[in-house]
Chains A and B, each alone.
Chain A
Amino acid sequence: MHDGLARPRLRPGHVLLLLALAALGLAVAFMTVGANGRWSFVLPFRGTKLASLLLVACAVATATVLFQTVSGNRILTPAIMGFDELYRLIQTGTVVAAGTGGLGDPRLRFLAETGAMVLFALLLYRWLLSRDERGLHLLLLVGVVCGVLFRSLSQFLQRMLDPNQFVVLQSSFFANFNTVHPELLALAALGLVAAGLGVWRLTGRLDVLLLGRDEAIALGVDHRRTLTLVLVLVAVLVSVSTALVGPVTFLGLLVANLAYRVMPSYRHAVVLPAAALIAAITLVGGQLVLERVFSLNAALSIVIEFLGGLTLLLLLARRAR
């Protein structure tokens, strides 16, 4: 665990402070730089965007770190467990059933989508974790298999859409921070805070989990209960973020691994905030640079996905050497 010898002797608190300052600076710059239009429009508009970026940053970073801790693997992300594909199947099914016109109250849809994704996760966990003490990797693989199943079904439904319906549908396949309903932000924030409180109470037990399953049990942690609890929290976090802006698959991978690198400690009480801050810096900074420097508005999720994927490949290649 302790390869901290070569690291600069910075205290975790200092690193967090630096990250927080950077995030704050970027947030201020994001709100003000290059304003084009009336302030009365720009501030609320950018405020909504900033809030959704921060919400997603916190949710995805926390979910990924938790997930990697319980799975003991740093190249996994919870999004591969079928959440993204379930979300896309729900979107496709809605368009097939109800057409592209009115898609109903956004709040209702948000709740329904979050509910469906959490329910899927709960069913999966309940069924698999009750079978076998060592079922975690099995659980992941079953989640992935369900993802392939969902994708096959969406592909069939998409085949039936006419091209005009398809182009309306496809924009919901990617994360979009520009068009977030402000009323959804409050709902999402509520979900996030609730899950965050749960996570905060668990940090001590999470640190013990890092030692491995048997050690954790020897130290008196109810491994199975903790595992189930953590996975439920992960499901809630991923679902809220996905229902809010759409699927973000590899962002978590990028920020969690950066957080492990910059933090001189493995304690969750500092790694989790660090990952969330790095995610915020990545998203807000990325959006700022893309919008102001390259004047690309919708490319953020795309660039972040590439960066996240690249991180994975680098991680894999580094191990391969």
Chain B
Amino acid sequence: MTLPLLQRFLPACLVLLVLAAASLLVGVGDAGGSEILLASRVPRTLALILAGAGMAVAGVIMQLVAQNRFVEPSTAGTAEAATLGMLLVTLLAPDAPVAVKMLAATATALAGTALFLRVLRAMPLRARLTVPLVGIMLGGVVGAASTLIAYRTDMLQFLGTWQAGDFSTVLRGRYELLWLAAILTLVAYALADRITIAGLGRDAAINLGLDHRRVVAGAIAIVAMITAVTIATVGAIPFLGLVVPNLVATVAGDNLRRSLPLVAVSGAGLLLVCDVLGRVIRYPYEIPVGTVMGVVGSALFLVLLLRRDARHA
């Protein structure tokens, strides 16, 4: 890590610590009791950090692989495919443990993302803004399939719990699967240089002696798994993987090895902010973090879109 980046990374870590402390202090229960702290606040805060970092990293990886700044798991069909997988396994094998459901969701998420990338490769005109539109259409079709299945089986309200991220019922013993996202983030860090080169495009990557296919396959496997594990434990979080990498890119550039730590820390920070807001605004009730993120994220995304567009015009 270069010095100027370190200068940004360390303050970011400090901010994250402050936010984590705030998350430990804010809630309905009496934080003085160690019981509440250990059983509820610490797990919730950790889950937020793990999911936030994971989704942001998944976003930045998707953006490199698809060579497009406006792609993330929820604009590439990945999230919808994972939800469909969860729904199917819940209908077919309701008693399966969460880990099995997560694996099924990973499989469908992988299939959805692979389809998206195949389509991208064949798109004659990979215009900056059409790529996410195609991904969203693809996600729309998969999402329609899930919705219709859920409607016929009277599970629509149930389906909603995966579509809207919510940390209100996270407790010790109920979120640990999310540590997988942390491991995957580390794996991504180890592969960072290769993913960066893969992001230069197929020909450039092969010229540089990279097995492009394998790296891309590994990268989308990481993305699919992070998405699936997040949806299986806390539900989908819109826009996080999109806004955080874009904000970070303005200071850190496209080299994944350099930007990834900052992306992870910022993603965790943004999700913490949104969840603490969701706990405070209607205290003692909750606003699910998916909704807060939907509002904050779409505002940030619009700013990004319009600012970037103004610069390009």
Contacts and interface: CB of A to CB of B under 8 A. Distances in A.
A–B: direct contact at CB < 8 Å: yes
Interface of A: 73, 75-77, 80, 131-132, 134-135, 137-138, 140-142, 144-146, 148-149, 151-153, 155-156, 158-159, 163, 166-167, 170, 173-174, 249-250, 302, 305-306, 308-309, 312-313, 316-317, 319-321
A140 B288 contact: no
Given A144-B133, A306-B144, 10 more contacts: A76-B137, A135-B309, A144-B132, A155-B291, A155-B294, A156-B287, A250-B141, A302-B152, A312-B141, A317-B118
Given A132-B309, A305-B148, A309-B141, A153 B133 contact: no
A172 to B, nearest CB: 12
B302 A142 contact: yes
B121 interface: yes
7 contacts: A148-B297, A170-B157, A173-B151, A249-B140, A309-B145, A320-B118, A320-B121
Interface in B97-152: 115, 118-119, 121-123, 127-130, 132-134, 136-138, 140-142, 144-145, 147-148, 151-152
Contacts of A166: 156-157
A306 B239 CA distance: 27
A137 B129 contact: yes
A21 to B, nearest CB: 32
A151 B236 CA distance: 12
B151 A170 contact: yes
Given A174-B151, A305-B144, A148 B309 contact: no
A319 B148 contact: no
A104 to B, nearest CB: 24
Contacts of B121: 320
Interface residues of B, number: 51
Given A76-B133, A132-B313, A320-B122, A302 B291 contact: no
B313 A141 contact: no
Contacts of A77: 137
Give the most central of A73, A148, A317: most B CB within 10 Å: A148
Given A134-B313, A305-B144, A148 B119 contact: no
Contact of A141 (B119, B132, B138, B293): B132
B54 interface: no
Contact of B164 (A159, A163, A174): A159
B259 to A, nearest CB: 24
Contacts of A174: 148, 151
Contact of A148 (B130, B137, B294): B294
B298 interface: yes
B129 A148 contact: no
Contacts of B137: 75-77, 80, 312
Given A141-B305, A146-B298, A170-B156, A155 B136 contact: no
Given A137-B133, A141-B132, A302-B148, A148 B239 contact: yes
B40 interface: no
Contacts of B142: 309
A166 B158 CA distance: 11
B277 to A, nearest CB: 13
A140 B131 CA distance: 12
B185 interface: no
B295 interface: yes
B301 A319 contact: no
Contact of A155 (B134, B152, B288, B306): B288
A302 to B, nearest CB: 5
Interface string B284-313: 000110110111011001100110011001
B288 A141 contact: no
Nearest to B121: A320
B144 A140 contact: no
Interface string B57-99: 0000000000000100010000000000000000000000000
Nearest to B119: A316
B151 A155 contact: no
Contacts of B115: 313, 316
A145 B299 CA distance: 9
Contacts of A73: 130, 133
Contact of A152 (B70, B128, B238): B238
Contacts of B129: 137-138, 140-141
B141 A152 contact: no
Contacts of B293: 152
Given A155-B160, A156-B288, A149 B294 contact: yes
